[in-house]
Structure formats: structure tokens, C-alpha cells
Amino acid sequence: MTQRATTPMILALLVTTMGFATLIFVQRATSPPLIYGAYYAGTLFALYLGVRLWLPHSDVLLLPIVTLLTGLGLVLIFRLTYNIPGVKSLALSQALWILVGSGTMLFIVLFFRNYSRLFNYKYLMVIAAFGLILMTFTPLGYEVNGAQLWVDLGPVNFQPSEFARIALTIFFAGYLADKRDVMAATSRTFMGIQLPAIKYFGPVALVWAGSLGLLIFEKDLGSSLLFFAVPLLMLYVATGRIAYVILGSILFMFGSFVTFLLFDHVRVRVEAWLDPWEDPDGTGFQILQSVFNIADGGLTGTGLGAGFSQTIPEVQTDFIFSTVASELGLVGATTVILAFLIFTYRGIKIALLAGDDASKLLAFGLTAMFAMQTLIIIGGVTKAIPLTGITLPFVSYGGSSVVGSFIITGLLLVISERSGRREAEELLPPEDRL
């Protein structure tokens, strides 16, 4: 029984087409070479057909949502950067990154159907992750906007942390699946809180603390938050022990306080969040411009292309959601949030249906990363929490981010394929089983 979602797929492509049509015909934006649009639609539709063909039992809704979100991102990046004086046009390079991401995903779909092998190399994953993060401290690494996040590899520049966190999620999933029973069954208590055995918890804490520490020195606050929250959530799901969450929260508060005291860049972010009016043209400028633009959108938005979100520095990457809220209004922004929620829902569903612990934990870890990343940046640009630089998955401009998000989608697809196939086989009458 092969499931299909051709209609959502076509709808997602239509939304993208309408977005471009609005910009070109109503806003009289100069038309980009239309052939690129056709490439984009062709690539994603081919990707969809390929996944249906090679992974017939995999989740059907993930790809239409990915198409919708990447399409929306492409429209917005085009709107924010194409043919605007003094701004480098980024739409074509984003389209290229979507192509690279699609290719990477196809590679996973074709060659990682037996993804469980990855868990055998879980310690290698840790080394790879640390290696990636450490690369930014080598001469290849360089600083952008005060954060040491980038690596220059000749033709391409990338943000290693986008990939390091996927590797670490694979490690945590594999390790916790092995040790979850022993980690849950501990009896030592401290002040009423049951403590895990150091022997089993040690490696987790070590990897956790190590990656966090490196990221904080990199000044990559957004990723630090993710690296902190995702393993904690995985630990909770693996052991079912709320103690980990409480302990984690205490650690978090303590850690936040220490980083606040130790690092100027953290203090600046928090102060800009608490009182941006203190320095409205300096440290508070970015968040205030974001809030002004969001408010400017109102219920129905200014209309695509009619807002002023170009006033926000870095709008095409971290602040792209402000453009969504400004130009599509509360209605449009809620729809986009709903799309992210549906992706999260499908991810959790994949975790629920997965047959083994490691698969469950991997699907959950990847989904949690996706959901937390979305919440951290939307919360940041709406001033719900302090701003930490991180991309909005699939929508923001950025090669590493797009490719990373496609890798997450690919892994979720192969996990869902396995449980979907098992389910399909169970549904067959016994005599038809092989």
C-alpha cells in the first residue's frame, strides 16, 4: 500500500509560484530568469516522485511541507535581495543550495536505508562533530558578526555546527538506546532527586559539556541552546525520568548566569532583550526594527513586497520570519507556524511508530532539533526570549542550514520507511507474507 500526497505537493508548488507571480506582476519586480523557477519546481517534484518510488512506505507529508517552506524562503529571499541597490542578490545561490540539499537527501534515501549501521559508528560521530566545531578555530575558520562560526573551504563556506549537531544526535540516539535501561534504573538519591549512575551518564555529560563549551567560545548562542536542549529532551524520552529535566534546568539557569557574567556578547544580547529602548539605535536596533515590522503587518499583512523589513539587519537569514509576519500578517505567519508544527507532528509520529529504541530516539532527536530551532528563532525575533542567532529551518538564507535541514528530512524519511514497511507487511494476510 503506497501512500501519496501529490495534491499537497502541487499545492506547495502553486503557493511558491503565486508568491513569485505577486512579486513580478504586482510589485513589478524585475523578473528573474524564469527557467530557474522551473528547475526548482522540477527538482522538488522529481525528489517527491523519487522518494515515493524508492521509499513507498515513508511519511508522505514531510516533502510537501519542505517544498512549501523552501519555496516560501526562496520567494522571500528573492523579494529581499533581488535587484535591490546595495544588496547582493542571494536567490539564485539559495536555489542552488536547495538543489544541493535535495541531492544530499536523495543520497541518504538511496544509500542509508539501513541507517542503523550509523549507530555502530556513534563514537566516530562524536569525533566528527568535535572535529567540525574545532575547524572554526583553525586558520580556515573566520568570524561573521562577532561569532566564530564559519569555515572557508575554497569554493564553499559553511557553518560546521549545522552538521555537527546532526552527528551528535546520532550519537545520543545510539548511546541512550543502549544504556537507557541502566540509566533509568538507578536508586541513588540526592535531596530527593534520583541521580543517574556516573558510569553510564558520564559519556553523555562529557559530550554534552564539551560541545556546549566549544560553542559558547565560538559565541554561537543559538546553537548552544540547541545543543543543550536537544540531548536533555532525548534523555528525558529515553529514561522517562523528569529528574533529568529538573537537573538540566538547574544546570541551565546556573550556566546562563555564569555566561551572562563572563561574556560581554551574552550580556549585550540579554540587555537588548530586556530593554531595547535603552539604546534604540545601537544594541536594541535590530530587535526593535523586527518588532516594528511585525506590528506593521497587522492581521493581514502589508502584502508581499510592500513591507519595510529590509530595515532589519540580517533580515534574509535570522530575521526572515519578521518579513513573513510583516508582509503576510498574523494570518500568514500563523499558517507558516502551523506548517512547522505539522512537520514536528509528523516527526514525532515517525518516532512513535519506529520499531526500535535507537530509531525512536533518532527520529525524536532530529524532530526536537527542528522544533527547538524554530521556536528559538521565532521566539527571538518576536522578543519572547533573548535573541540568539540561528536560522529558521528551510526558510532562512544559508547553505549549511538548508543542506542540514534536508539531511534531517532524509533521515526521518528512511526511519519512517522501515516502520511503514513493517506495518504494511503485518497488514497482509499471513499466506501472502514472504
Partner 1 sequence: MNVHLRRAFYLFAAGFVAMVGMLAYWQVYARESLANNPHNGLQTRRSIEAPRGLITAGDGTVLARSEGHKTKGGTVYERVYPQGAPFSNVVGYWSVRYGASGIEIAENSNLSGVTSDPVTLDDLINQMRGGRQPGNNVELTLDPELQRLAYEELGQTVSGRGSAMAIDPKTGEILALVTSPSYDPNNIDDNFPELIQDTAAPLIDRATQSLYPPGSTFKIITASAALKAGVKPTDTFFDPGYLDTPGYRVYNYQGKDYGELTLAKAFAFSVNVIFAKIAINEVGPQLLYETATDFGYGDPYDDFILPVTGSDLGYPVNQWVEGNTAQIAFGQDRVSSNVFEMGLVGATIANDGVMMEPRLVREVRSPDGIIIDRPAQSIRRRSLDANTAETVNQLMQGVITTGGLTQAEIPGVKVAGKTGTAEAPPGEPHSWFVSFAPADDPQIAVAVMVEHGGEISPKGDASTPAVTIARDIMAAYLKHEGG
Which residues of this chain interact with partner 1, rule CB under 8 A? 22, 26-27, 84-85, 233, 236-238, 240, 277, 280-281, 288, 291-306, 308, 311, 325, 327, 329-330, 333-334, 337-338, 340-341, 344-345, 348, 351-352, 357, 360, 364, 368, 371-372, 374-375, 378-379, 382-384
**Contact by Cβ (8 Å): 190, 172:** no
User: How wide is the angle at C-alpha 275 spanned by C-alphas 269 and 280, nearest 5°?
Assistant: 85
Q: Which is nearer to partner 1, 143 or 275 (CB)?
A: 275
The gap from C-alpha 263 to its chain's centroid, in whole angstroms, comes to 26
Q: Which of 111, 211, 134 is nearest to 168 (CA)?
A: 211
Residue 409 C-beta: closest distance to partner 1, Å: 17
The residues near 298 (Cβ < 8 Å, ≥ 6 apart) are: 329, 330
The distance of closest approach from Cβ of residue 348 to partner 1 in the complex, given in angstroms and rounded to an integer, is 4
CB neighbour burial string for 125-157, b if at least 16 within 10 angstroms, e if fewer: bbebbbebbebbeeeebeeeeebbbbbeeeeee
Report in angstroms how near the CB of residue 401 gets to partner 1 at its nearest.
19
The total of other beta-carbon atoms located within 10 Å of residue 345's CB is 13
Rounded distance between C-alpha atoms, residue 289 and residue 313, angstroms: 9
**Is 43 or 289 the residue whose CB approaches partner 1 more closely?**
289
Gap between the Cα atoms of 270 and 129, Å rounded: 28
Residue 36 class from Cβ within 10 Å (0-12 exposed, 13-18 middle, 19+ buried)? Answer: middle
Q: How far is the CB of 425 from partner 1 (least distance, A)?
A: 21
What DSSP element (H or E) covers 47? Answer: helix 34-54
Q: What is the C-alpha separation between 434 and 147, in angstroms, rounded?
A: 56
Q: How far is the CB of 184 from partner 1 (least distance, A)?
A: 10
Q: How far is the CB of 297 from partner 1 (least distance, A)?
A: 6
Indicate the residue among 93 and 335 with the shorter CB distance to partner 1.
Answer: 335
Which one, 96 or 342, has the nearer CB to partner 1?
A: 342
- Shortest gap between Cβ of 354 and partner 1 (angstroms)? 10
Instruction: Give the residue with the Cβ less far from partner 1, 365 or 399.
Output: 365
Nearer to partner 1, 135 or 234 (CB): 234
Nearer to partner 1 among residue 85 and residue 154 (C-beta): 85
Distance CA(224)–CA(130), nearest Å, equals: 14
